[in-house]
Amino acid sequence: MRAGRLNQRITLEKRTMVQDAFGSATPTWSEVATVWATLTRITGREDWANDQVTTESAVAFRIRYLAGLSADMRLQHNGTTYEIQTILDPTSRGRELIITARAEQ
């Protein structure tokens, strides 16, 4: 993977449970890593639902291999939160990962 193509900064986050002042568990997101990535737009569409325009966009981020990632994490890119759909190792050599994700509404 060529470093010059990794021109987007993304932050990977995982859900953690924190105890609030009343003793109940509250879900929060904690940062796992901030890495360089290549962004590829897969799909995008707008639709009308309940008299409102809804948008949906799917993207793929290619990053250097990072152990411990899972589909229950999310990522941040340019102020947008993305829900991770799949994490693929295209070469099966542990060099890079392709993360497909959808923007959260």
Which domains, ranges and CATH numbers included, belong to the chain? 3-103 (2.40.10.270)
Question: What is the C-alpha separation between 74 and 31, in angstroms, rounded?
Answer: 10
pTM for the predicted model, two decimal places: 0.78
Residues in the chain where the model's pLDDT stays below 70? 1-3, 44-56, 105
Predicted pLDDT of residue 29? 94
Predicted pLDDT of residue 5? 81
